Amino acid sequence: VRVCLHSRFARVLQRALALVDREGLDSLTMRRLAQALKVSPMALYNHFAGKDELLRAMAEHLAQQIDFSCDHPDWRERIWYCFRSLRAVVRAHPASVRLMEALEEPPLAIFRPLDLTLQALGEAGVTGDDAFRVYFLLTNFTLGQASYEVRGPFKGMDPASALTQGRLGGGAFEHIERSLAFDDWDFDEAFEFGLSVILRGVEQLGRTPSSARRSK
């Protein structure tokens, strides 16, 4: 797919991304997009074969923008940087995850974090299938957490609001009631915490030969 920033192609794409960022993915409609561009709906089909093509172009554009790599000598710092970047994109563009998931074939740029992570993990003594597994762990956590955050400020999914609405009462969820102190809940902290727990586990992994773990 060629990239030409001066083409009408790019202007359409930019409009589409703006619309999605502002009003959500479900608001993106060929007809509404055409209207925003002051053009007939069918005019869009000169630039994109169909809506699928449009979505794919949007995802590609998003993925290419990201710079995952930094050249810190410590592998831990490189992983931190990579997944902080990933999280930042999702937070900046709430629809990005659903956009990627909808694609049959992901944009190439998606493999960048994987490559960087494998390299970093190699230095930590984690290789082969285990390295891939750690990558999946990191990605799923990061994307899951960010999706959750972006879905809305605890849009009904947090125990705090459920409790105050009395929905959790009656002692059926006693441990939630007891632990609840959500005043200072912070997604940034939760993310950093999660990553640190994972990396702590990974560090131990590097110290244990995988043959020893398998035979348990």
Partner DNA sequence: ACCTGAACACCGTTCAAGT
| Residues at the interface with DNA (CB under 7 A) | 8, 28-32, 39-43, 45-47, 50-52
- 12 vs 100 by CB, closer to a copy of itself: 100
The reply to whether 115 sits near a copy of itself by the rule CB under 8 A is yes
8 binds, among DNA, a copy of itself, none (CB under 5 to 8 A by kind): DNA
Residue number with CB closer to a copy of itself (12 or 68): 68
Complex with DNA: residue 15 or 47, whichever CB lies closer: 47
106 binds a copy of itself (CB under 8 A): yes
Q: In the 8-state DSSP scheme, what is residue 7?
A: S
Tell me which of DNA, a copy of itself, none is bound by residue 136, counting a contact when its beta carbon lies within the kind-specific cut-off of 5 to 8 angstroms. Answer: a copy of itself
- DSSP for 161-193 reads HHHHTTTTTTTTTHHHHHH--GGG--HHHHHHH
Is 118 an interacting residue with respect to a copy of itself (CB under 8 A)? yes
First-to-last alpha carbon distance for the chain, in angstroms, is 49
Select 30 or 103, whichever has its Cβ closest to DNA: 30
Distance CA 102, CA 47 (A): 20
Maximal C-alpha separation, the chain = 66
Q: Closest separation between CB of residue 38 and a copy of itself, Å?
A: 31
What is the distance between the alpha carbons of residues 201 and 51, in angstroms, rounded to a whole number?
Answer: 43
Site for a copy of itself in 81-100 (CB under 8 A): none
Angstrom distance (rounded) from CA 63 to CA 111 = 10
Residue 51's binding partner out of DNA, a copy of itself, none, with CB under 5 to 8 Å set by partner kind: DNA
Q: Which of 118, 24, 129 minimizes the C-alpha distance to 78?
A: 118
Output the smallest distance, CB 18 to DNA, in A: 16
Residue whose pair of structure tokens reads 């930094």 in the numeric block: 70
- Distance, CA of 80 to CA of 142 (rounded, Å): 11
Q: To the nearest whole angstrom, how small is the minimum distance from the Cβ of residue 33 to DNA? A: 8
